[in-house]
Amino acid sequence: MDLNYSADELAFRDEVRSFLDKNLSSALSEKVRLGKRLSKADLEEWHATLNRRGWLAVNWPVEHGGTGWNAVYRHIFEEELCLAHAPRTIPFGLSMLAPVLLKFGSKAQQDHFLPRILDGTDWWCQGYSEPQAGSDLASLKTRAVRDGDQYVVNGQKTWTTLGQHADWIFCLVRTDPAAKAQEGISFLLIDMKTPGVTVRPITLIDGGQEVNEVFFEDVRVPVGNLVGEENKGWTYAKYLLTHERTNIAGVGFSTAALAHLKDICGKQTSGGKSLLANPYFAGRVAQIEIDLMAMATTNLRMIAKAAAGQAPGAESSMLKIKGTEIRQAINDLTRRAVGRYAMPFVSEALDSGANAQGVGPEYAAAASPSYFNNRKLSIFGGSNEIQRNIISKAILGL
């Protein structure tokens, strides 16, 4: 038993820190720290910065332009980025589509799409959920009918994150309606500029528009855009969903958010004293820190297993549940911490580069919107209820 990083790992961590010091602008990290909405340009700029250093595709093999890092290195990297308040990288192309293409895609698809993900030519979004297919994803109805060397796609996807920026969407479509639910699904790549594709933004209760509905009306897609075999899409989708995700626990996000919360506590007063001097509030913060310390170690235990070549299974469901509960609890405390300034909502003041005048301290503006936005953490990526089902079935054998 050794709870410490090796010398090599520590040296790597220093290297990451020094890179961030030089390459992450304070303007960008301030936006992240204060919970502002990042523009497309902000996100593209950060992708380009990481790509120049060769650190964008952390989970790709070296021959395709990835880092080839093991799970420990990836964890160190992700944690340092979070602590420095770097923008998150957009996962749809990098860590969702790419692993599927690397494992099941044709050489032509790999050669065409992977470099374009790296250099930012293509922004990808995910076409999984549908209005009637949420937790029960396999009940999806979007239809693709073969017509010569094309598929004709009709249907609707929803909750498509940042679809308004996307050039391409990877979709689960039904190609055999007669087959059992999971067996008639295919994995299709669709150019968002194809006639018949319509994107409609959805405004969420935090006032932001990060998700969309995507409609397909007689959209013609070349058969060359089918990944792997027809009707085998569910296998690929499951591979994507259970593909090793070291960051699913969000330890870095929580650690950074907790530091931000303590910073706010130092500035907020209660009865003339710092909020951290208030035993009621301090107790709440301490409770979360205690939970987070333990979860960080649970996370490292899983990572060590993954680095040793053991594929994580249902354990990632555990990390997802505990990780999102802790992140949501920190959001909750941040909202409480700012007191009555949790109420004002000047939406424009949250936009990247906005000049609109906010209300109260700058750190207060995003407190309630973030609390409400992050209700999504326990809903998306397989709701926490679905994760509990997985645990009861796969670990407990119930």
Partner 1 sequence: MDFNHSDERRMLQETLHRYLSDNYGVEQRAASVAHSQGYSEKVWGDFAELGVIGALFEEADGGFGGSGFDIAVVFEELGRFACVEPLMASGVMAGRLLSALGSDEQKALIGDVIAGQLKVVPALEEPQSRYDLDAVETTAEQVDGGYRLNGTKSVVMGGPSADKLIVSARCADGLMLFVLDANANGVERYSYPNLDGYHASDVALVNVEVRSTAVLGASEAVLPALEAARAAGVTALCAEAVGAMEAAKDLTAEYLRVRTQFGRALGKFQALQHRMSTVLIEIEQARSALINVAGHLSAEPFLRDKHVSAAKNLIGRVAQLVCEESIQLHGGIGMTEEYALGHHAKRLMMIDHQLGDVDYHLERFVGVMQSEAAQERA
**Residues in touch with partner 1 (CB under 8 A):** 129, 132, 134-136, 139, 158-159, 202-205, 207, 211, 268-272, 278, 280-281, 284, 332, 335-336, 339-346, 357, 359-360, 368-369, 371-372, 375-376, 378-380, 383-385, 388
Shortest distance in whole angstroms from residue 117 CB to partner 1 = 26
Q: Which of 244, 315, 325, 348 is catalytic?
A: 244
Shortest reach from residue 182's CB to partner 1, in Å: 12
Minimum separation from the CB atom of position 14 to partner 1 (A): 40
The secondary structure element, H or E, covering residue 283 is helix 279-307
Minimal distance, residue 303 CB to partner 1, in Å: 28
Q: Is the dihedral of CA 62, 68, 74, 76 positive or negative?
A: negative
Structure tokens at 397: 């054998």
Q: Tell the smallest beta-carbon distance from residue 326 to partner 1 (Å).
A: 14
Nearer to partner 1, 289 or 332 (CB): 332
54: its two tokens: 């060769």
Please give the biggest Cα pair distance in the chain: 75
Cβ proximity to partner 1: between 23 and 384 the closer is 384
Residue recorded with tokens 């650690």: 255
In the complex, minimum distance from the CB of residue 136 to partner 1, in angstroms, rounded to a whole number: 4
Nearer to partner 1, 5 or 372 (CB): 372
Query: What Å distances lie between residue 237 and 60, 73, 183, 189, 266, CA to CA?
Result: 18, 26, 12, 13, 45
Tokens describing residue 364:
């207060």
Tokens of 32: 């992240």
Q: Residue 280: CB partners within 8 Å, gap ≥ 6?
A: none
φ/ψ of residue 185, rounded to 5: -110, 140
> Please, are residues 138 and 167 in contact by the beta-carbon 8 Å criterion?
no
Q: At 293, list the tokens.
A: 């310390």
Nearest 5°: the CA angle 239, 241, 242 is 65
Residue number with CB closer to partner 1 (65 or 207): 207
Q: Closest CB to partner 1 among 317 and 368?
A: 368
Of 298 and 384, which CB lies nearer to partner 1 in the complex structure?
Answer: 384
Closest distance between partner 1 and the C-beta of residue 132, in Å?
Answer: 8
* Pair of tokens at residue 230: 């027809």
List all residues 6 or more positions away from 284 whose beta carbon is below 8 Å from its beta carbon: 333, 336
Is 80 considered catalytic here? Answer: no
Q: Helix, strand, or coil here: 125? A: strand
H or E stretch including 185? strand 185-191
CB nearer to partner 1: give 220 or 284.
Answer: 284
Closest CA to 110 of 53, 64, 60: 64
- CA quadruple 218, 223, 226, 232: dihedral positive or negative? positive
Task: Decide the pairing of beta strands 185-191 and 150-157.
Answer: unpaired
Residues with catalytic function:
244
